[in-house]
Structure 1
């Protein structure tokens, strides 16, 4: 009995491969959640009611149900209607849509906070409503919400462990595979925690750099 970290030696390749999959899922789902957040915010604020209200229902469902259930619905449920997604794709879509809804709420608040006089000024120089939104309002709103969206991305990294339940060989599942061979849960879960923390530190560093560049551009 007791701890034996020497067992990690033969499994670092497996853990690092799982870490790379975790980073890939986080990056792709993060991009999807950012783009989706902007699109969802525009739909929620400016789309006709016939589009806006169904979207509000979609938004409420994603905010009011567990992420794990959403992953099950996307991966196991869609196949019943003929949509068979690979586990990795289903995980990216599930995470991306889940966090896109939360990013949308942030971006909507930021759009509404932009001075309406700027939109009016843009219209007076000949820009259409959409052009004013695209070139004046949305860029300011997005810059304003970079810090909270960055926090959502860190939360996304942590929640990416949930895709292990649909068979994606990310870091958590890689640690579980190693544990099934060695029966040493503490050592491998601790190693996984350290790797998650290292990735988290990298994301925080990128976020701070982006925030500094935005602050310098103002």
Structure 2
């Protein structure tokens, strides 16, 4: 039911964008905004991939790594959770060049947002792993599995289902955080909107379209995560029945 409601909301949002685009006052801004939306989507997807990778590595390192690795993992998590994503963007883009390290603005956007969301995601992964019923751990030990086998075959598949809802929230936060990259000269959706607003002073049509485009992107992410959660839950249920 919830997925159908979300799909209906997405369809209504896209229909409203199409109807507004039929108006000459709104149509003028659509090509540039869609170009910015493509860049926003690219940063979102690549940032999400990096965030998931870093979260998994950091969580496992914090739980099972030797002491120096645990300290390193905890340091990463606390630094990127405890400081602003905007400051992280500025630090990578404006401060690193002072040390002779020059990074492309697009790479900085993906790194900063991916590492920021990954730090939050690491706690999601860690919490999901430790929430798996103790009996599952004991059964794995009884089957004489190594820790790697235990995690891969028993623990992580069950923890995965518990991770999906909070990861959905983090991905939505990632979508919204992409608006910050306009401050490091990237022509994303927000950057394009600001340029158009400054040159035309058409605030209402520009930011109405921007709001609807961001909503469409966020609803797409939410629907994808709900479908993934539904599929994972069904697979887990079939595994338990078998």
Tell whether 2:200 aligns with 1:182: yes
Deviation at 1:121, TM superposition (A): 2.6
Mapped partners of 1:52, 1:178: distance in 2: 48
- Structure 2 unpaired stretches of 5+: 1-22, 238-242
> Given the alignment, which residue of 126, 131, 138 partners 1:113?
131
Mapped partners of 1:86, 1:59: distance in 2: 24
Mapped partners of 1:27, 1:47: distance in 2: 29
Tell whether 2:99 aligns with 1:81: yes
Tell whether 2:37 aligns with 1:19: yes
> Given the alignment, which residue of 189, 198, 216 partners 1:171?
189
Structural mapping, 1:205-216, within 5 Å: 205-216=223-234
Mapped partners of 2:41, 2:148: distance in 1: 35
Deviation at 1:31, TM superposition (A): 1.3
Mapped partners of 1:198, 1:57: distance in 2: 36
Structural mapping, 1:63-74, within 5 Å: 63-74=81-92
Deviation per CA, 1:43-75: give whole Å up to 9, x if none: 111111112113212221111111100111111
CA contact (8 A) 1:119 1:133 kept: no
Tell whether 2:103 aligns with 1:93: no
Structural RMSD (CA):
1.6
CA contact (8 A) 2:172 2:218 kept: yes
Deviation at 1:196, TM superposition (A): 0.5
> Given the alignment, which residue of 130, 149, 158 partners 1:131?
149
Mapped partners of 1:123, 1:80: distance in 2: 52
TM-score by length of 1: 0.92
- Structure 1 unpaired stretches of 5+: none
